[in-house]
Amino acid sequence: MKNHPIYDHPLFKIHTIQMRPSSFPKEWNNESLTTQNKSNMYSILVTKGRFHGAKATISLWKSYVQTLREFSLAQIWLASGTSRDTNTIEAGWQVYKSLYGDYNPRYFIYWTADGYQDTGCYNLKCPGFVHVSQDFAIGATVSPVSSVGGAQYQIPTSIWRDTRSGHWWLKVYDNIFVGYWPSSLFTTLKDVATDVHWGGEITNNRDGSQHTTTKMGSGHFAEVGYEKASYFKNIEIVDEGEIMKPPVGTSPFMSEENCYNIKPGTDVHWGTYFFFGGPGRNAKCK
């Protein structure tokens, strides 16, 4: 893989690519708030501490997006640092409106090492993330999608720090190791994450001085529940001892609950979970 685009980055001229992670959170048994832009709105679950990873099963929806300059997404954030030195790793699905009216969710990744200022990269548009899987394409459409009152589809996503190499790995579904973010990309996130967020985000450009009608998730508020609202379930963190477990001390955060909201809970089958979403502009959200 000497022609891999990672070698275009000056930090990785002598980097040796891993094809599989060399360590895992113990329960896997080797099995087969960040800086916020005022135009962005969130409904997320937040936990703080010291973490070596996070996971969740994320429901898939074909969200409506109002304009070409907006998006709707559901993802996991791992972050460390404050203000301009914020480091993040982000992964999940995103919907944006194409010129052809395409609203299909696409799997995306992102990272930054300076609070979204000069460093960072979306998907594989620049060197950084080392993509090793031939079974899963970053930026590709993920399907099938959930329907209101019908079948519900989801994508399990896990991010964790490989303790032997220091790299942050991404796994989807049961056993697809997509690739990793080399530890040398980061400063404050090199060894540990101090914040983990799960949830939804949209861009609100306020065209016509009105709140956007871009939907978060299914477009339904959290309280309508299963088969209508979007959800994250089986939410867990990986602690510094490489133990995977439910997070403690979580807090919901909503930019404007009349537009998009979140409702967390626990269940014997779903573990730690939450419903989230909303329609955007409505009688109480202007």
- Which of 146, 152, 166, 117 lies closest to 16 in space, CA to CA? 166
Catalytic residue among 27, 31, 70, 201: 201
Catalytic annotation present for 201 = yes
Tokens of 41: 């709105």
Give, in degrees to the nearest 5, the angle at Cα 241 between 240 and 243.
105
3-state secondary structure the chain: CCCCHHHHCHHHCCCCCCCCCCCCCHHHCCCCCCCCCCCEEEEEEEEEEEECEEEEEEECCCCCCCCCCCEEEEEEEEEECCHHHCEEEEEEEEEECCCCCCCCCEEEEEEECCCCCCCCEECCCCCCCEECCCCCCCCCECCCCCCCCCCCCEEEEEEEECCCCCCEEEEECCCEEEEEECHHHCCCCCCCEEEEEEEEEEECCCHHHCCCCCCECCCCCHHHCCCCCEEEEEEEEECCCCCEECCCCCEEEECCCCCCEEEEEEECCCEEEEEEEECCCECCEC
- Which of 197, 213, 218, 205 lies closest to 277 in space, CA to CA? 218
Catalytic annotation present for 257 = no
Catalytic residue among 90, 223, 227, 256: 90
Active site residues per annotation: 90, 201
